[in-house]
Amino acid sequence: MEILTQAEIDALIASLMAEQEGQPQETKKEERPQPPRRVRTYDFRRPDKFSKDQLRSIQVIHEGFARLLTTFYTATFRTVVQLVVGSVDQMTYSEFIRSVSNPSVICPFTLSPLQGTCVLDINPVVAFPMIDRLLGGPGTALPRVRELTDIEQTVIMRVIRGTLEAYREAWSNLVELSPAPGGIETNPIFVQVAAPNEIVVTVAIDVRVGEHVGVITLCLPYLTLEPVIPKLTTRTWFGTRTVQEQPEGRAALARRISGAVVPLTVQLGTAELTIRELLDLQVGDLIVLDRRVDEELTVYVGNQPKFRARPGQRSGRLAVRLTGLVPKGEPEDDA
């Protein structure tokens, strides 16, 4: 084995250094420029607790809730009601409280067996028309928003209980919950169900009751939903819905509409009069209708012709006996 002397070692090192000094440009060519780092602002006061996939699952659940609520509200208020999920966001609880109008209709509620308390907020713009409809009115809004009276709180609590029952059904495909309402508050400052900096998810549902448009908002704290968060994935949700939702959804819808009240009327016949004949009508005048005595009558469900019937009486009251169905697409006059 050949051993180098110190002079030979120094000469070798010097030659290597000379080669490096003689090729500075080639060394630079081999170095690839690094792309600039992307820096994203992160607010430690508002950490994101819910992923986009989880927020999407929450939106799907509440879209089903809006459909159930549409059926319940339409049957309860006997007027056209439309509900659409407007937004699903995560924010701090203090930000949610600042977004609630004062006064408003605010109801804290629990979701047993989950821990903690959630919040249901019904905007007064639609809350007062709801109350007016339940009290027999046309569903008009107040010219000036005010706090609810004791009677109005009792009336709106009926709406809240039905709303939470629909909320239970909306979650039933994923987890069995038992919503229970608390008292009604009108000032959001007095509703302290979570720490100001706690992360919550808020679901805003746009509501139209007749001609009045408002918002129903649900506030769900992260700590309350934490036990079910692993289930809040689109794969779990859509898989569960494929197996269970269709039969259970139909059964739930049947339960909802079974209590709906619909008008049923029977048309005895029609007649055409001139304006002069109409003005000359007096008590005791006879109006001849366009139907014969032995002809069947048409029974209407709502404003749709559904049945054929013959008139009669029972127990001293006028009555009709159904004799058949009105074929689909048949003109109403073809009795």
Write down the pLDDT at residue 189: 92
Write down the pLDDT at residue 21: 59
Q: Per CATH, is 264-325 categorized as 2.30.30.170?
A: no
Write down the pLDDT at residue 198: 92
Supply the Cα-derived Rg of the chain in whole angstroms.
Answer: 35
Predicted confidence (pLDDT) per residue in 249-281, tens digit: 566 666 666 666 778 888 888 888 899 888 888
Matching fold, domains 52-258 and 264-325: no
Write down the pLDDT at residue 243: 41
Q: What angle do CA 159, 120, 46 make, to 5 degrees?
A: 170
Q: What is the mean pLDDT of the chain?
A: 83
Any idea where the domains of the chain sit in the sequence? 52-258, 264-325
Q: Per CATH, is 52-258 categorized as 3.40.1550.10?
A: yes
Write down the pLDDT at residue 154: 93
Residues 6+ away with beta carbon under 8 Å from 223: 115, 116, 194, 198
Q: Which residues of the chain have pLDDT under 70?
A: 1-4, 18-47, 234-260, 329-335
Write down the pLDDT at residue 89: 93
Range 263-271, long-range pairs (CB < 8 A, 24+ positions): 263/300, 263/301, 263/302, 264/299, 264/300, 264/301, 265/299, 265/300, 266/297, 266/298, 266/299, 266/300, 266/309, 266/311, 266/320, 267/297, 267/298, 267/300, 268/297, 268/311, 269/297
